[in-house]
């Protein structure tokens, strides 16, 4: 797989509710080609970006799950810093239904008005955004305020094209290359050349689900089926699962069960309560249920 | 001097305009007895407090200089975290004229309403707040939006009372102690005992001026006369002083000249532009003008 098609996740803030010295509040970045998508943008996200391998100026799409402060209060500062660095490219901000007014309001507080376009769009659960090389679908989350989870799906791509092989078989560079890449046979010097020899199997697009705050949800399990990665909140340890549910949250074991039921490849658990300094035991509880569970540290990265 | 009367400054954010990996945006804490005062509260201040020797829960007064984002966007997150930690004690928030609406609005964004009292007060330049053991006065700053600087002045205190000496001279513990402490003579066994032997000289209250964003200002120099500490912004280096003035800021040499003219004991320069990774040269430029200049690092402390 060529490196330009790799998707990079950067866990900018893996803490829940309020920050701790170990973990900042919610934000995860997803980099695909030239795009940097942020899922949630808690207070301090711009500085986390500065500590990371990503540039805060590269962020062009921000997906907010809901309007609890630890998920969106980093938005105005990030946009202001972009502005002070002469940004001209637009930023797209997405949030659940009935949030555009608040989001617009908070990014124009005090004397600040961004000089670049900031487009704010409300999304209902089930909506699908179709971008160049990927789609983003929203899922109704089960939190105590209107919240949407996001499902990122890279579009399937054509198989790898073996250029050397094509030339070797006498295919001249040009339109016939494209035809073969589209899996059509071509004729060269009265010889039929079929794509099987030259074009690899279609490459399945990667899928990443980011839940934000939620109780375990069938809608999320359904949408996450076969995902490469699910980033599911797990605020509390299993002994506090009732308290978690009561506040619209999950415990780490619940996150693991969601991952298991959905049959995903990898589970990252975030929104860890600041009460936990050491998360080794929490991680073990999740792994007992779903082996490929991980509680990422802030600023850690994962390539898909 | 007894340790309980020491004033502690904690530089939480010494960077200007937007954060850098080295410096967070504006906030300085002043601790006196049980009170923790914040001057400005940029994004991420609550987390800086968590890294510091102070508790974010101990903050009870917040003085905002003006409504540029790097000076007030940390307010809602800090209050939310206090709320999630079951705070009941009130927090007083102060800002310049015509800011109460914005400040009130930003701390109730999304679904958050603090369950403890948050009292927001607008202050005109020249106003004085009289607290138990100190006063805070506002000064008109010279920035490009309405901005007030703050002058903190500890009240003068009675001289140190030499308890051992008093007992040695035959003064019984009780009302006569208080009388002596008030510098009145007392009579014990027909002997007149004067306070000079027992009570030290009155102790001058400490004075700290925090400017926020400003060009050099005569009003600030006037108010800062003889201060123990002035925390003056110095966004840029001397070669960029015109640019600094144009945006309502000071260069580090300007800050040093203000300190020199006001005859303060110590100058701390903050609001350093993120363009400077190494501030040694900047500090030297200031010291060439006013020897006792310092560019504090984030989280450094100073006892007065």
Cβ separation of B73 and A73 shorter than 8 Å? yes
Please give the pLDDT value at position A110. Answer: 81
Domain-embedded: residue B69 = yes
Count of the separate structural domains present in chain B: 2
Domain-embedded: residue B50 = yes
Which long-range contacts (C-beta less than 8 Å, at least 24 apart) are formed by A154-158? A154/A7, A154/A32, A154/A205, A154/A206, A154/A207, A155/A205, A156/A202, A156/A203, A156/A204, A156/A205, A157/A5, A157/A133, A157/A202, A157/A203, A157/A205, A158/A182, A158/A183, A158/A199, A158/A202, A158/A203
Cβ separation of A19 and B73 shorter than 8 Å? no
Nearest to A270 by CA among A242, A245, A246, A298: A298
Chain A residues whose beta carbon lies within 8 Å of the beta carbon of residue B80: 18, 69-70
Cβ separation of B43 and A74 shorter than 8 Å? yes
**Same domain as B217, residue B118:** yes
Nearest chain A residue to B96, by CA: A110
Please give the pLDDT value at position A112. Answer: 85
Nearest to A294 by CA among A282, A303, A304: A282
Containing domain of residue B292, as a range?
3-157+213-303
Cβ separation of B67 and A19 shorter than 8 Å? no
Nearest chain A residue to B101, by CA: A110
Of A17, A67, A111, Cβ closest to residue B68: A111
Q: What angle do CA B78, A61, A39 make, to 5 degrees?
A: 50
Tell me how far apart the 2 most distant CA atoms of chain B are, in Å.
Answer: 73
With beta carbons less than 8 A apart as the criterion, state whether A269 and A236 touch.
no
Of A43, A72, A84, Cβ closest to residue B43: A43
Nearest to B211 by CA among B123, B120, B147: B147
Chain B residues whose beta carbon lies within 8 Å of the beta carbon of residue A102: 109-110
Q: Considering B70, B213, B253, B270, which one is annotated as catalytic? A: B70
Which residues lie across from B207 on neighbouring strands? Answer: B153
0.90 exceeded by pTM:
yes
**Same domain as A297, residue A178:** no
Which residues lie across from B93 on neighbouring strands? Answer: B62, B120
Tell how strand B266-270 and strand B293-294 pair up: parallel
- Residue A254: CATH number of its domain: 3.60.15.10
Q: What angle do CA B113, B117, B119 make, to 5 degrees?
A: 105
Is A195 strand, coil or helix? helix
DSSP per residue over A151-183, as a string? EEEEPPBPPPB-HHHHHHTTPPSSHHHHHHHTT
Q: How far is A17 from chain B, CA to nearest CA, in Å?
A: 8
Cβ separation of A47 and B19 shorter than 8 Å? yes
Q: How far is B85 from chain A, CA to nearest CA, in Å?
A: 10
Q: Is B238 exposed, middle or buried (0-12, 13-18, 19+ CB in 10 A)?
A: middle
Domain-embedded: residue B83 = yes
- A22/B218 Cα distance (integer angstroms): 44
With beta carbons less than 8 A apart as the criterion, state whether B71 and B42 touch.
yes
Q: How far is B43 from chain A, CA to nearest CA, in Å?
A: 6
Sequence-separated (6 or more) residues with CB below 8 Å from residue A108: A114
Please give the pLDDT value at position B114. Answer: 93
**Residue B46 dihedral angles phi and psi, to the nearest 5°:** -60, -40
The dihedral through the CA atoms of B232, B291, B48, A91 has a sign that is positive
The dihedral through the CA atoms of B10, B14, B20, B24 has a sign that is positive
Domain-embedded: residue B285 = yes
Encoded tokens for A3: 């490196």
**Same domain as A193, residue A209:** no
**Same domain as B146, residue B261:** yes
Neighbours of B8 (CB within 10 A): 15
**Same domain as A270, residue A244:** yes
Chain B residues whose beta carbon lies within 8 Å of the beta carbon of residue A47: 19, 21, 24, 43-44
Residues (pLDDT < 50) of chain A are 1-4
**Same domain as B65, residue B191:** no
**Same domain as A190, residue A53:** no
Cβ separation of B110 and A69 shorter than 8 Å? yes
Of A18, A110, A111, Cβ closest to residue B84: A18
Query: From chain A, which residues contact B within 8 Å (Cβ)?
Result: 17-21, 24-25, 43-44, 46-47, 50-51, 67-70, 72-74, 76-77, 80-81, 84-85, 102, 105-106, 109-112, 145
Best residue of B26, B83, B110 to probe chain A, by most A CBs closer than 10 Å:
B110
Sequence-separated (6 or more) residues with CB below 8 Å from residue A182: A158
Domain-embedded: residue B175 = yes
Best residue of A18, A41, A65, A299 to probe chain B, by most B CBs closer than 10 Å:
A18
Cβ separation of A50 and B19 shorter than 8 Å? yes
Place of tokens 């009460």: A275
**Same domain as B284, residue B184:** no
Strands (E), B14-124: 27-32, 35-39, 59-63, 91-96, 118-123
Q: How far is CA A210 from the centre of its chain?
A: 6
Domain-embedded: residue B208 = no
Picking from A197, A220, A252, the residue at the C-terminal end of a domain is A197
Q: How far is A102 from chain B, CA to nearest CA, in Å?
A: 7
> Which residues of A are designated catalytic?
70
**Same domain as A42, residue A143:** yes
Q: What angle do CA A38, A40, A42 make, to 5 degrees?
A: 115
Chain B residues whose beta carbon lies within 8 Å of the beta carbon of residue A74: 43
User: How far apart, in Å, are the Cα atoms of B292 and each of B220, B248, B289, B304?
Assistant: 18, 25, 9, 14
User: Residues B80-104, buried b or exposed e (16+ Cβ, 10 A)?
Assistant: bbbbeeebeeebbbbbbeebeebbe
Of A21, A102, A111, Cβ closest to residue B145: A111
Place of tokens 């008109």: B140
Domain-embedded: residue B206 = no
**Same domain as B182, residue B230:** no
- Provide ipTM, 2 decimals: 0.90
With beta carbons less than 8 A apart as the criterion, state whether B196 and B204 touch.
no
Chain A residues whose beta carbon lies within 8 Å of the beta carbon of residue B105: 105, 109
Q: Chains A and B: how many Cβ contacts under 8 Å?
A: 103
**Same domain as A168, residue A36:** no
pLDDT in tens, chain B (304 residues): 344 469 999 999 999 999 999 999 999 999 999 999 999 999 999 999 999 999 999 999 999 999 999 999 999 999 999 999 999 999 999 999 999 999 999 998 888 889 999 999 999 999 999 999 999 999 999 999 999 999 999 999 899 999 999 999 999 999 999 999 999 999 999 999 999 989 999 999 999 999 999 999 999 999 999 999 999 999 999 999 999 999 999 999 999 999 999 999 999 999 999 999 999 999 999 999 999 999 999 999 999 9
What is the H or E stretch that residue B256 is in? helix B252-262
Of B67, B84, B102, Cβ closest to residue A17: B84
Domain-embedded: residue B202 = no
Chain B residues whose beta carbon lies within 8 Å of the beta carbon of residue A109: 67, 69, 73, 102, 105-106
**Same domain as A147, residue A171:** no
């Amino acid at each position: 797989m060529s490196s330009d098609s790799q998707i990079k996740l950067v866990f900018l803030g893996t803490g829940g509710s309020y920050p701790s010295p170990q973990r900042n509040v919610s934000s995860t970045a997803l980099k695909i080609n030239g795009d940097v998508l942020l899922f949630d943008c808690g207070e301090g996200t711009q500085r986390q970006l500065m500590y990371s391998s990503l540039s805060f100026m590269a962020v062009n799409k921000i997906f907010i799950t809901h309007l609890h402060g630890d998920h969106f209060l980093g938005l105005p500062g990030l946009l202001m810093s972009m502005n002070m660095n002469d940004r001209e490219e637009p930023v797209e901000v997405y949030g659940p239904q009935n949030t555009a007014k608040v989001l617009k309001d908070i990014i124009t507080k005090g004397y600040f008005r961004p000089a670049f376009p900031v487009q704010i769009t409300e999304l209902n659960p089930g909506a699908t955004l179709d971008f160049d090389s990927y789609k983003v679908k929203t899922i109704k989350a089960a939190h105590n305020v209107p919240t949407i989870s996001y499902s990122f799906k890279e579009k399937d791509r054509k198989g790898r094209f073996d250029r050397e092989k094509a030339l070797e078989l006498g295919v001249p560079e040009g339109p016939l290359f494209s035809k073969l890449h589209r899996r059509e046979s071509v004729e060269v010097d009265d010889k039929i050349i079929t794509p099987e020899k030259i074009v690899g199997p279609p490459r399945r697009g990667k899928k990443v689900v980011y839940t934000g705050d939620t109780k375990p949800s069938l809608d999320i399990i359904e949408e996450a089926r076969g995902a490469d990665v699910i980033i599911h909140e797990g605020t509390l340890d299993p002994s506090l699962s009732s308290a978690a549910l009561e506040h619209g949250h999950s415990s780490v074991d619940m996150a693991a069960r969601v991952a298991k039921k959905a049959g995903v490849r990898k589970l990252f658990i975030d929104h860890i309560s600041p009460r936990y300094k050491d998360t080794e035991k929490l991680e073990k509880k999740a792994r007992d249920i779903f082996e490929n569970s991980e509680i990422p540290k802030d600023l850690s990265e994962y390539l898909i």
